[in-house]
Amino acid sequence: MRDRFSSKLSASIIFILLVGALTSIGGTVLAAGEGKTLAIAITADPRSISPVSASTFHDWVVGYRVYSSLFQASEEFSAVPDLAESWDVSPDHLTYTFHLKRNATFHDGSPITSEDVAFSIKEIALVHGSICARGLGSVIQTIETPDPHTVVIRLKAAYPEFLNPYDGLGPHCSAVVKKSLYVGTDVINNPNNFKPVGSGPFKFVEWVRGSHIVLERYDGYHGPKPWVEKVVFRIIGDPIARALAFEKGEVQWVPFEIPRSEVKRMDGLPGNNVFFHGSPCGTIVGLGFNSRKDPFQKKEVRQALTAAINKEKMVDLVYFGGADVGLGHIPVTPFSAWWHNPNAKQIDFNPELAAKMLDKAGYPVKKDGWRFSMALKHTTGYSEHIKLAELIKADLKKVGVNVTITSLDHAAWHEHVFKRWDFDVSILPFCGGPTPPTMKRYHTDNIKPISWANCVAFSNAEYDKLFAEMISETDAKKRLGLTNRLQEILAEEQPTGFLVHSKNATGIKEGIYTEEPKDIWVLGYLWMHLDRIKPVKK
Amino acid sequence: MHTYIARRIAEAIPLILLVLVMNFLLLHMAPGDPVFLFIEGGSGTTEEYVAQVRKMLGLDKSLGEQLLIFITNVFKGDLGYSHYYQRPVFDIILERMPITFLLVFLSTFFAAVIGIALGVFAGRRPYSLIDRINTVVAVFGSAIPIFWFGQLLIIAFSIHIDIFPTGGIPTRALGGGGFMDWVRHLVLPVVSLGVVQLALVARITRANMLEVLGMDYIMNARAKGLSDRKVIFKHALRNAILPVITVISVNFAFQLTGAMITETVFSWPGLGRMMFESVFRRDYPVLLGLLIVMSVGVIIINLITDLLYAFLDPRVVYD
Annotate A169-191 with DSSP letters as a single string.
S-TTTSPPPPHHHHTTS-STT-G
Q: For residues A331 and A344, give the distance between their C-alpha atoms in angstroms, rounded to a whole number.
A: 12
Q: Is residue A248 less than 8 Å (CB to CB) from chain B? A: yes
B27, B37, B43, B118, best to mutate vs chain A, most A CBs in 10 Å? B43
The confidence score (pLDDT) of residue A86 equals 95
* Beta carbons of A181 and A50 less than 8 angstroms apart: no
Q: How close is the nearest chain A Cα to the Cα of B3, in Å? A: 41
Q: What is the DSSP string of B12-70?
A: HHHHHHHHHHHHHHHHHHSS--HHHHHTTT-S---HHHHHHHHHHTTTTS-HHHHHHHH
Q: Is residue A343 less than 8 Å (CB to CB) from chain B? A: no
Q: Is residue A315 less than 8 Å (CB to CB) from chain B? A: no
Is the CB of B277 less than 8 angstroms away from the CB of A44?
yes
Percent over 70 (pLDDT), chain B: 97
User: For chain B, how far is it from start to end, CA to CA, in angstroms?
Assistant: 6
Residue of A377, A31, A443, A126 whose CA lies nearest to B31: A377
Question: If you measure CA to CA, which chain A residue comes closest to B282?
Answer: A411
Q: For residues B130 and B122, give the distance between their C-alpha atoms in angstroms, rounded to a whole number.
A: 6
Is the CB of A452 less than 8 angstroms away from the CB of B42?
yes
Q: A151: part of which helix (H) or strand (E)?
A: strand A150-155
Tell me B176's DSSP state: -
CA dihedral B161, B163, B168, B174 (to 10 degrees): 120
User: Mind listing the pLDDT tens digit for each residue in A388-404?
Assistant: 999 999 999 999 999 99
Q: Is residue A408 less than 8 Å (CB to CB) from chain B? A: yes
The confidence score (pLDDT) of residue A150 equals 97
Q: In A308-409, where does DSSP find H-type helix?
A: 311-317, 351-360, 385-398
Cα of A139 vs its chain's centroid, Å? 23
B53: left (phi over 0), alpha (psi -120 to 50) or beta: alpha
Q: For residues A27 and A5, give the distance between their C-alpha atoms in angstroms, rounded to a whole number.
A: 36
Query: Chain A 139-198, CB below 8 Å of chain B: which residues?
Result: 188, 193-194
Tell me, what amino acid is at A65?
Answer: R
The confidence score (pLDDT) of residue A330 equals 85
Is the CB of A237 less than 8 angstroms away from the CB of B56?
no
Q: For residues B235 and B36, give the distance between their C-alpha atoms in angstroms, rounded to a whole number.
A: 61
ipTM: 0.85
Collect all residues of chain B within an 8 Å Cβ-Cβ radius of residue A6: 121
The confidence score (pLDDT) of residue A206 equals 92
Q: Is residue A414 less than 8 Å (CB to CB) from chain B? A: yes
* Beta carbons of A159 and A472 less than 8 angstroms apart: yes
Is the CB of A211 less than 8 angstroms away from the CB of B269?
yes
Is the CB of B167 less than 8 angstroms away from the CB of A248?
no
The confidence score (pLDDT) of residue A459 equals 96
The confidence score (pLDDT) of residue A338 equals 79
Contact partners, residue B117, CB within 8 Å, separation at least 6: A9, A12, A13
Q: How close is the nearest chain B Cα to the Cα of A237, in Å? A: 7
Q: How close is the nearest chain B Cα to the Cα of A153, in Å? A: 22
Q: In B76-128, where does DSSP find H-type helix?
A: 89-124
Q: How confident is the model at residue B293 (pLDDT cuts 50, 70, 90)?
A: confident
Tell me A532's DSSP state: G
Contact partners, residue B143, CB within 8 Å, separation at least 6: none
Q: For residues A407 and B225, give the distance between their C-alpha atoms in angstroms, rounded to a whole number.
A: 67
Residue of A275, A79, A259 whose CA lies nearest to A166: A79
A445, A452, A458, best to mutate vs chain B, most B CBs in 10 Å? A452
Q: Is residue B224 less than 8 Å (CB to CB) from chain A? A: no
Q: A96: part of which helix (H) or strand (E)?
A: strand A95-100
Q: A373: part of which helix (H) or strand (E)?
A: strand A372-379
Q: Is residue B189 less than 8 Å (CB to CB) from chain A? A: no
Positions of chain A with pLDDT lower than 50, given as ranges: 1-2, 17-34, 514, 517, 520-522, 538
Look at residue A66 and give its three-state secondary structure: coil
The confidence score (pLDDT) of residue A472 equals 84
Is the CB of B162 less than 8 angstroms away from the CB of A248?
yes
A257 - beta bridge partners? A505
Residue of B205, B211, B235, B237 whose CA lies nearest to B222: B235
Is the CB of A412 less than 8 angstroms away from the CB of B39?
no
Is the CB of A237 less than 8 angstroms away from the CB of B264?
yes
Collect all residues of chain A within an 8 Å Cβ-Cβ radius of residue B44: 134-135, 436-437, 440, 446
* Beta carbons of B60 and A455 less than 8 angstroms apart: no
Q: What is the mean pLDDT of residues B70-77?
A: 90
Range ranked top by mean pLDDT from B50-54, B141-145, B204-208: B204-208
The confidence score (pLDDT) of residue A21 equals 46
